[in-house]
Structure formats: C-alpha cells, structure tokens
A and B are shown apart, each in its own frame.
Chain A
Amino acid sequence: MAATTMAGRRTQAPAATALARFTGTGPLVRLALRRDRVLAPVWIAVFAFSAAGSAAATIGIYPTEASRVQIADTLNSSASSAAFYGPILDPTSMGQVSLFKMYAFGAAMVGLLGLFLVARHTRGEEEDGRTELVGAGVVGRWAPLAAALTWTTIVLVVLGLVTAVSLVGAGLDVVGSLSFALAWLVTGLAFTAIGAVTAQVATTSRGAKGLAGGLLGLAYLIRAVADGSADGELVGLRWMSPVGWAQEVHAFADPRWSVGVLGLAFFLLVSAIAFALVDRRDLGAGLLPDRAGAASAPRSLSGGLGLAWRLHRGLLAGWVLGAALLSMVLGGLVANLGGFVDEGMQDMLAALGGQQGLEDTFVAVEWSFIGTFFGAYAIAALLRLRSEEATGRSENLLATPLTRPRWAASHLIASIGGVVTLLVVTGTLTGFSISRSLGDSAWWSKSASAAAVQLPAILVMVGLTILAIGLVPRFAVGLSWGLFVAFFLLGEIGALLELPQWVMDLSPFAHTPRLPGGDLNVPALVILTVLGLGLIGAGVAAYRRRDLEA
C-alpha cells in the first residue's frame, strides 16, 4: 500500500506538493511554544546560570593572568581533566579558563536538550496519538517535523544568546561570549538533527531519545579519547565527534567561526535525511514494519516482575553496552596518563604518591561520573512506574491480584537491580582493562570496591524518586530529574561558586568515597544506605495510600 501511495504522490506537481507538505508548520510551532512555555525558560536559565556562574566565580578566584596560567597548566597536565572536559587552549584567556568545564560537557548537555525536545515534539506526539488528531487538520506531512526542528532551533538559539549575554554580564568579552554561544549551538543543532532521524527510526519517544542519547555518548567518548591521548596524537579524532566541534570553535581563544558553517551544513543534511524518512513510513510506524509477535506469553511473563523485566530490558541492554565500551576505553586512557605530565609535575607527583597516585585519582574521578550517571539510569527506570500509571496501563494491572506494593517493588528491583548489573559489568571490565594495560592485578580489587561504593548514593536517589511518585505523582518526573541535575551541578560547580559546605553536602553523591585512593568512609555509606531504604519504604507506603491517578 505504501508503495502505491508513494508512486501516486510522485506523479503530482513536485513544486506545489513540496511546499504543501509544510502547511501548518506555523501553528504547530506555536503549539510547541505553548507546551514548553515553562520547561524551555527553566532549561535556558539553568544553562545560562551554570556558565555565567562559573565565569563569575573564576574571575573572583583567579583575577590575575599569572594565577590563571598556573591553574590552566595544572589542569592541562591532568589526564582526567583533559579527557573529561578537554584541554584549555589558551591559558591566558579568562573565558577559556573559567569555562573549561563547559566546552565539551556543556555542549553535550545542550545536545541532550536538543534531541530531547525534537523527540518530544515528533515521536512523542505521534506515540500519544496527537499527531493523528493534528494531521487530520490542514497540516502537511512534513509540518510536524519542520515545526519540531524550528522550535528546537529557536530554543537553542535563544539559549545561546541568553548565555552569551549572561557571560558578558559576568565580565567576559562580547566576541568571546558570542563564539562560546556558537560552540554550544553547533553541537546542539547536530544532535537536534540526529534526534529528528532517530525519531523516524524508533517507534517510541523513549527509543528515539535512547538511540540519539547513545550516539551522543559515543560522540563524547570519541572526543574524550582524542583529548586523552598521550601527547595529543589522536587529537584529530575530535573532528569525528559533533561534541568535539564545540571545542574546535576555539571560543575565547581565537574563534574559528567557520566551524559554525560545518555545524549548519551537518544540521541541514541530517535534517533532510529525517524528512526523506518521513515519506518512507506510515504514521505511528517506524522504518521497519511491525512484525507479528508471539501469540501467547512466554513463561517468564507471568507477574509484575516478569512484566517489569520486559519493559526494562531494552533500556538496560543499551546502558550495559555503553558501560562496557567505556570500561574498555578506560584501560587505554589510564595507560597513557604519563604522557600528560612534564618532568616537573612528575617530581611533584612522585612526592604525592607517584604514578600510582595519578592513576588512582584519574580512575576515582571517572568513577564519580559513572556513579552519578548510573543514578540517572536508576531514575529513568523507576519513573516507568509513574508513566505506566499516567498512560492508564497500571489500572488494568492493579485490577488483578497484583498489589501496588508488589508492582512498585517490581520497578524498584528493575531500577536497583539494573544499577547493580551496570556496576558489576563496569567494575569487572574496568578491572580487566586497567589491570591488563598496566600489568597490575591489584586493579581487579580496586575496581570492585570503587564500583561497590557507588550504590548507596544511588539508593538515596531511588528513594527520592519513589517518594516523589508516591506523594506528588504529577510532578514526579520534573522533581526527580530536577533534583538529579541540581545534585550534579552542586558537584560540578558548587566549589567554584564557593557555596557553603552544607549546601554541597545536600547531594548524596558528595558522600561517596573517592575510590581508589580516597578514604573509605564506612559510616557515610551506612547512613546513605539506611536513608535510601527509609525513603524507599516511605515512598512505597505513600504510593499504596493514595488514589491512582490517570
């Protein structure tokens, strides 16, 4: 059937139909604006604040050029800093030093926002059946995608401009601030277009975001390998990664505006692929036709836990794959650490514990990131309990003998069990890859303990999420992710903003021991665990006691 309609369409006057396919884009952009009128300003503010806050704080801490050069040299000689955030290109530049954490990482986060927004307004709308409603009106076939791309571009451009203005307000120069905004925009638009393509390929909004998010992770990893390579021998690899493009803009150093053209070309080309894909599929379908499935359920699908496994296994498989890849790369990165450090630094490091101290610190920083991101998996998985309720699917289940505590427990097991799986995989594989590349079998046990200590803080995050689901279901999604972002920012820029220690201590991740190398603070781990379990208990009780909401 699809073939005949496509053939039929080809015989029509091409110019007129091409324009007609965009009919209705304007009203759909306004609809998106209406839907995101709270969300978009909040995200723009978070990004602008993070950047301007970092800049203002750094200007206060390192007022002189000499002090900036000194800190920049220290950071550049740290392999972990270079791999995670990228090197500081110009140590004398106030913008380069103060925003060094915001180049690659900030750009990746802007990319995440872009792919999230575009998936929300394309596949998300389609999945909920609203595109069908809209499509029956005077709306061209390409209009929903065109509107989503337009709206996301508007948000990202405004985000860039607001950030640039905030940076100028914080005391940085205008040209540098604009080039920094361009750096973010290049990566943001690249992943907006990638999200537009995955939204055509996947049949669910969750799948589209997962696929594009996985590519974002891969892009980040590629540039980490480039920046983390000894003596910068692989630095050209950065051009393979849209996240690396943000660094290649050289904002606040000697801006290369032409990278913006590369970003725009990529955006237009990949968006064109997305539009072409729209023509090759039916509404509601993915690229591949739906195949028939099993006519009866396998033995494993017989209860709440079996269903939870079915619902979670795809997400978990993606994360396990990503974690495995990261773990294998880590071994190579650790082996190259020596290349970063000049002789003077090596003497200093030798006094502080030598090469081993360097490796320990690097891996400990890596683990604190891994732990935080596995917290994101735990939240995403557990929020499934809420989306099952919001879509009305829980109603039919809870009308069977399946009780609410059991149904909640199924998702808690999927969430916590998933994190444990990820920790075991990552702990084992990093142990393998690092001990092999360094020829030191002590890394097996170091990796195991570094993995194990991540769990208590994640339990607290799980507890906060289930409590939000139990007490304020309608705000659970926003609240859980909002807390997660807040905790993450506290860890990243809290010290820079000179926030009081008690504010920084609000984040459960602040209490995770920095292993290997750091002190194993057992009481803190016990307190986190008890707190997490207590919150989980309170959350389940609240979920049991309230009305089920649609």
Chain B
Amino acid sequence: MTPVIEITDLTKTFGSVTALDHLDLTVEAGEVHGFLGPNGAGKTTTLRILLGLLRADSGSATLLGGDPWRDVATLHRRLAYVPGDVALWPNLTGGEVIDLLGRLRGGLDPARRAALLERFDLDPSKKGRAYSKGNRQKVALVAALASDVELLLLDEPTSGLDPLMEAEFRAVVRELAAGGATVLLSSHILSEAEALSDRVSIIRHGRVVETGTLEQLRHLTRTAVTVDVLRAPDGLDALPGVYDVRVEPHGDGARLACEVDAPALESLLTVLQGAGVRALTSAPPTLEELFLRHYSDDLAGAGVQ
C-alpha cells in the first residue's frame, strides 16, 4: 500500500532562513502520525507545502498519490485542515464558516455537524469577532472533523482548548482513525502525540531527526526525577533504566537528579527508601530537553565532548 504522504529531501528557504533542510517524512495510510517539534522547527511550513500554499525549493512531496502544488482542487476534496492560528471573518458566524468550509469541500454531514457542535460545546450563532481563541479553534475543528475525508492535517489543533475539550478532541480523532482516516498531527506537546499517535516523527531545525513507533522512541519518554535526601544512596548508576545520575551537596544533605524509564521508577523508589527523602519532584522531560539531549547525543556520538 502506498503511503498517504511521502516527502523526500524537501528544502524550503525564506530569504536567508532555511525553514526545511532536506526533510524526509512518510505517513502510512490509516495511521495517526505525530509530527513533533519545538516552535519554529518547520512543522507549519511542511503542512503548508503539503497544502500547496507554499512551493518547495527542491525535493519531492507526494500527497494521496498526487502533487500537492499542482493538483490542489482534486487533492483538497479528500482532506481537511485545521490551522494552528485560526482567523475568522468578524461578521460571519461560526456556523456560517463551518458550512462554508464544508460546502467548499463538497458538503458535510448535518448530523455529524450537530453532534460535534454538541461535543465541543460551541455556539454556532456567534459572530467571528466574538469568539475567544479556543472557540475559534473549535470552529475550525468542527469544520474539519465534520467532513468525510481520508486525510486530516492538524496543526497544533488543541492550542487554546481547555483540558475537557482536549479530551473530547482526542476521542474524536480516535473515532476517525478507527474509521480508517489518516491523521498527521503536528504538536509541540509530547503527551498529546503520545496519547494519539501510532508513529511519531520529530523535527528539529527543518529536519526529521527521529521517526518510529512510540515503542521505538520509548527512550525519549524518560521521567526526570529530582530528590533531596539526607544521604545519597549507593548503586543508583547500576540500576537498569536509570540514566544520567548527578549528585551534588545540598544543605546538610544532597540533591540527586536522574532520568528514569517509566518501568524503572519502582526500583528507584526502593533504593531511595531509607535515604531520608525530604522532597521529590518528577516531571516528564519537555520536548526541548529531549531535543537538547538528542543533540548532545549526536555530538557525543561524533566523538566531541
């Protein structure tokens, strides 16, 4: 089966700025593909090239078997898009925008439209200028999700949504994926991609630096643990699944920091028992930290310290 999206060696520059630097990306049919990267990494540029809004300098991009720059009208009938920053017409209501975008895509299912409005708790009779950022986002989401399409391109679709709506969004994406739709989900929130994606690609400085299933990328989801203890325990370095152990004096005791694979958390806690724990924080690493580590790994691998 041919991939829904196949990008090879794609390069795009804006003046002196290189937005995409030989980017490769493959999205298979029927998968939810997380497209992760910090702000300015090139996620939106990639999506805009896939939509024919921007023209690539070199490299190739294939979308649903067609050329995204040339076959705009035929390809766009089969996909829906949610931009990261939704701009609405101040004097059109949300309902009018949803209908307009739906009709442009060849019509939408009224029952599904009504159900989505209900689920996202969106008032469609408000004028565009009266919506908050989150509600503008919902208008674009309902418009995209109510159309019957093969491919969804979502650019940071949950920005501005509250946690309840985020959960609703995830549920809808899962339903669509179960129905066979392909989803490319751009995000800088690791947990969002983790919750939805079958596979993930990580982009940094216009290049995909990691791609694979979540299992394969498990090493990227270590938890950062910082503990203040009276006595630093021995043998932490030897624990499987515990990395980067750093100990430094702190007050009359010590501060201990390390990164831990989720399954190894319990053995870490066992070792810490009796060490006189005074404070403990644990946090999933931010995406930026992952990239920084990925980068330092690259440097270490190349023999540079």
Contacts and interface: CB of A to CB of B under 8 A. Distances in A.
User: Do A and B come from the same complex?
Assistant: yes
Contacts of A127: 90, 129
Q: Which of A310, A399, A403, A547 has the most CB of B within 10 A?
A: A399
B83 A392 contact: yes
Interface in A288-306: 290, 292-298, 301-304, 306
Interface residues of A, number: 37
A293 B125 contact: yes
B100 A307 contact: yes
Given A294-B125, A548-B53, A548-B54, A400 B76 contact: yes
Given A302-B103, A393-B88, A401 B93 contact: no
B165 interface: no
A548 B87 CA distance: 15
A144 B56 CA distance: 43
A430 interface: no
Contact of A393 (B51, B54, B87): B87
A401 B83 contact: no
A298 to B, nearest CB: 8
A295 B76 contact: no
B72 A401 contact: yes
Q: Which of B48, B86, B87, B123 has the most CB of A within 10 A?
A: B87
A395 B140 CA distance: 12
Interface residues of B, number: 44
B99 A297 contact: yes
A284 interface: yes
Given A303-B104, A307-B100, A399 B53 contact: yes
Nearest to B79: A399
Given A396-B140, A547-B55, A294 B95 contact: yes
B87 A391 contact: yes
A207 to B, nearest CB: 9
Q: Which of B97, B104, B130 has the most CB of A within 10 A?
A: B104
Interface in B96-124: 96-101, 103-106, 123-124
A203 B129 contact: yes
Contact of B87 (A304, A392, A546): A392
Interface in B119-154: 123-127, 129-130, 140, 153
Nearest to B47: A399
Given A293-B126, A297-B96, A399-B76, A547 B53 contact: yes
Contacts of B72: 398, 401, 403-404
Contact of B106 (A203, A396, A401): A401
Contact of B100 (A284, A292, A297): A297
A413 interface: no
B81 A396 contact: yes
B129 A396 contact: no
B1 interface: no
A294 B93 contact: yes
Nearest to A404: B72
Contact of A395 (B53, B76, B79, B129): B53
Nearest to B124: A295
B104 A400 contact: yes
Contacts of A402: 73, 76, 104
A397 interface: yes
Nearest to B140: A396
A354 B99 CA distance: 62
A153 B257 CA distance: 62
A287 to B, nearest CB: 14
A426 interface: no
A396 B94 CA distance: 14
Q: Which of A284, A294, A295 has the most CB of B within 10 A?
A: A295
Q: Which of B73, B83, B98, B100 has the most CB of A within 10 A?
A: B100
B96 A301 contact: yes
A292 B74 CA distance: 36
Per DSSP, chain A at the interface is loop
Contact of A310 (B53, B88, B92): B92
A398 B125 contact: no
Contact of B51 (A290, A392, A398): A398
A447 interface: no
A292 B126 contact: yes
A303 B103 contact: yes
A403 B73 contact: yes
Nearest to A400: B104
B103 A297 contact: yes
A76 interface: no
A436 B124 CA distance: 51
Contacts of A396: 81, 83, 86-87, 101, 140
Interface in B47-89: 48, 51-55, 72-74, 76-77, 79-81, 83, 85-89
B113 to A, nearest CB: 8
Contacts of A295: 93, 95, 124-125
Contacts of B129: 127, 203, 284, 290
Nearest to B12: A547
A268 interface: no
A294 B124 CA distance: 8
Given A127-B90, A295-B93, A400 B101 contact: yes
A311 interface: yes
A361 interface: no
Nearest to B55: A547
Contacts of B90: 127, 203-204
Given A393-B87, A396-B86, A403-B73, A293 B54 contact: no
A132 to B, nearest CB: 12
A397 B54 CA distance: 14
Contacts of B93: 292-295
Contacts of B89: 310-311, 393
Nearest to B86: A396
Nearest to B94: A295
A297 B90 CA distance: 15
Contacts of A290: 126-127, 129-130
Interface in B2-48: 48
Nearest to B153: A399
A476 to B, nearest CB: 18
A545 B72 CA distance: 12
Contacts of A301: 92, 96, 99-100, 103
Q: Which of B79, B127, B130 has the most CB of A within 10 A?
A: B130
A401 B103 contact: no
A20 to B, nearest CB: 28
A393 B83 CA distance: 10
A293 B103 CA distance: 19
Contacts of A310: 89, 91-92
A402 B52 CA distance: 12
Please give me the 7 A-B residue pairs with the lowest Cβ-Cβ distance, nearest first. Answer: A297-B99, A400-B104, A399-B81, A293-B93, A392-B87, A297-B96, A292-B125
Given A396-B140, A404-B72, A547-B55, 17 more contacts: A203-B129, A294-B95, A294-B96, A295-B93, A297-B97, A297-B98, A301-B99, A303-B103, A303-B104, A310-B89, A392-B87, A393-B88, A396-B81, A398-B53, A398-B72, A401-B74, A401-B76
Interface of A: 127, 203-204, 284, 290, 292-298, 301-304, 306-307, 310-311, 391-393, 395-404, 545-548
20 contacts: A127-B129, A290-B126, A290-B127, A290-B130, A293-B95, A295-B95, A296-B124, A301-B92, A301-B103, A302-B103, A302-B104, A393-B89, A395-B83, A396-B87, A397-B101, A397-B104, A398-B53, A399-B153, A400-B104, A548-B48
